[in-house]
């Protein structure tokens, strides 16, 4: 009977501890804040943590009046089948690298041979009555070999790219370099909320600035988002994770590069009808928000006029943007003595 009880206890421990998860992500300018809710039916749970986790940022909040007894963070272990597959991909990657290095050597040999053949002077002899034909044949042979080298190199580079993409995807799925949070708690089973920061979930601001002859410019803010897990609710904030002292204001981001806010800002425009002339836009931030720096695309009366760097713009601040400016050229130096 005692053995039966121990076996039942071991089976209870080995049963998967959680069965649902809801996740939100707040993207900052220098990282992201993840909030994940897990539902567990036992007194013990495990949750994977990414390798990009900022040390010391993990917070675990119990639900249903539960009390957390212990939290332990251990390195994530890769499944043996996944580990074997990764090893085979690593071996294939090394073989492809060796092939590319060998092809590079062959390319140098055949390139030198083609140059040597084409540089030969045609000289008739008893053994070479048609020197021009012989030179042409030697050159064509070297060029054919070069063409074959180029073809093989292109195939190897394409396969290597596929191997790298597959390897990166497997490492992400296996949580390589990540860790596991082991959580023991007392009380009723229910929900646990995990909160942690990661350094690979920042967003990048993108702007569209559209102006015409009116005194107001239409400024559209877009968010270039990091890759996220399916079902994650994403919001962005124009603040820095490492310096955030309070709960920031956030904006919902439905998809990558989708518009998240539109502003009407006072503008002073200096534009010329001359071809390729730059466009000057002096914007005043009339919003109560600080607009973060980013890349901006400029439009004048619907015409695209190039891109520029959008500067950090505090409330009430006024700055000038130059769009489509031609690169500066240096005047040629005068000949010496003149």
The CATH code of the domain that includes 59 is: 2.60.40.1730
Number of domains forming the structure of the chain: 3
272: left (phi > 0), else alpha (psi -120 to 50), else beta?
beta
Residues 93 and 161 occupy one common structural domain: yes
CA 96 to CA 211: how far, in whole Å?
A: 52
Its sign, for the CA torsion 93, 94, 99, 102, is positive
Residues 267 and 209 occupy one common structural domain: yes
Residues 194 and 210 occupy one common structural domain: no
Q: Is 115 helix (H, G, I), strand (E, B) or coil?
A: helix
Residues 159 and 131 occupy one common structural domain: yes
Residue pair 298/286 in contact by the 8 Å Cβ criterion: no
Tell me whether residue 157 is in a domain: yes
Residue 252 burial (CB count, 10 A): 12
Q: For residue 42, give the nearest of 150, 165, 166, 192 by alpha carbon.
A: 192
Residues 72 and 91 occupy one common structural domain: no
CA 32 to CA 58: how far, in whole Å?
A: 13
Tell me whether residue 7 is in a domain: no
Tell me whether residue 245 is in a domain: no
**Residue 211 class from Cβ within 10 Å (0-12 exposed, 13-18 middle, 19+ buried)?**
buried
Residues 224 and 186 occupy one common structural domain: no
For position 14, what pLDDT does the model report? 36
**Any bridge partners for residue 39, and if so which?**
20, 191
Residues 60 and 100 occupy one common structural domain: no
Tell me whether residue 25 is in a domain: yes
Tell me whether residue 121 is in a domain: yes
Residues 221 and 302 occupy one common structural domain: yes
Q: Final residue of a domain: which of 173, 189, 215?
A: 173
Q: CB within 8 A of 152, min separation 6: which ones?
A: 99, 103
Whether the pTM exceeds 0.85: the reply is: no
Tell me whether residue 248 is in a domain: no
Residues 46 and 100 occupy one common structural domain: no
Tell me whether residue 330 is in a domain: no
**Residue 33 class from Cβ within 10 Å (0-12 exposed, 13-18 middle, 19+ buried)?**
buried
Residues 65 and 186 occupy one common structural domain: yes
Residue range(s) defining the domain that contains residue 72: 16-76+178-198
CA 96 to CA 160: how far, in whole Å?
A: 6
Residues 39 and 187 occupy one common structural domain: yes
Residue pair 191/63 in contact by the 8 Å Cβ criterion: yes
For position 109, what pLDDT does the model report? 85
Residue 38 burial (CB count, 10 A): 23
Residues 103 and 223 occupy one common structural domain: no
Continuous segment of H or E residues that includes residue 142: helix 131-173
For position 187, what pLDDT does the model report? 75
Tell me whether residue 243 is in a domain: no
Q: Is 252 helix (H, G, I), strand (E, B) or coil?
A: strand
Q: Could you list the pLDDT tens digit for every one of the 338 residues in the chain?
A: 344 333 334 333 333 343 345 899 999 999 999 999 888 877 888 888 988 899 999 999 988 778 888 999 988 887 778 778 878 888 998 999 999 999 899 888 888 877 776 666 566 666 655 666 666 777 778 788 888 889 999 999 999 999 888 887 777 776 677 888 999 888 776 788 999 999 989 999 999 999 999 999 999 999 999 988 888 899 999 888 877 666 778 888 878 888 899 999 999 998 777 777 888 999 999 999 889 999 999 999 999 999 999 999 999 999 999 998 755 654 455 554 44
Residue pair 300/279 in contact by the 8 Å Cβ criterion: yes
Tokens of 306: 């190039």
CATH number at residue 93: 1.10.287
For position 120, what pLDDT does the model report? 62
């Amino acid at each position: 009977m005692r053995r039966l009880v121990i076996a039942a206890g071991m089976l209870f421990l080995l049963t998967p501890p959680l069965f649902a998860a809801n996740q939100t992500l707040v993207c900052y300018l220098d990282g992201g804040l993840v909030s994940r809710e897990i539902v567990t039916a036992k007194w013990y749970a495990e949750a994977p943590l990414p390798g990009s986790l900022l040390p010391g940022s993990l917070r675990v909040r119990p639900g249903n009046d539960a009390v957390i007894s212990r939290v332990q963070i251990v390195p994530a272990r890769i499944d043996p089948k996944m580990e074997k597959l990764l090893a085979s991909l690593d071996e294939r990657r090394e073989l492809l690298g060796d092939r590319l290095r060998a092809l590079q050597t062959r390319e140098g040999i055949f390139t030198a041979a083609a140059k040597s053949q084409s540089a030969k002077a045609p000289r008739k002899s008893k053994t070479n009555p048609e020197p021009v034909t012989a030179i042409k044949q030697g050159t064509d042979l070297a060029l054919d070999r070069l063409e074959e080298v180029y073809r093989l190199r292109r195939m190897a580079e394409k396969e290597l790219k596929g191997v790298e993409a597959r390897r990166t995807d497997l490492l992400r799925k296996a949580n390589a370099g990540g860790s596991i949070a082991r959580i023991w708690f007392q009380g009723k089973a229910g929900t646990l909320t995990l909160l942690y920061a990661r350094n690979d979930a920042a967003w990048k601001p993108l702007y569209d600035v559209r102006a015409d002859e009116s005194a107001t410019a239409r400024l559209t803010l877009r968010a270039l988002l990091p890759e996220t897990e399916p079902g994650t609710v994403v919001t962005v904030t124009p603040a820095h994770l490492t310096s955030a002292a309070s709960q920031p204001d956030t904006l919902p981001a439905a998809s990558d590069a989708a518009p998240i806010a539109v502003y009407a800002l006072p503008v002073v425009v200096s534009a010329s009808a001359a071809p390729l002339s730059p466009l000057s836009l002096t914007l005043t931030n009339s919003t109560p928000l600080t607009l973060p720096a980013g890349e901006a695309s400029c439009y004048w009366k619907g015409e695209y006029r190039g891109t520029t760097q959008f500067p950090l713009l505090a409330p009430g601040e006024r700055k000038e943007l130059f769009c489509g400016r031609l690169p500066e050229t240096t005047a040629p130096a005068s000949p010496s003595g003149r």
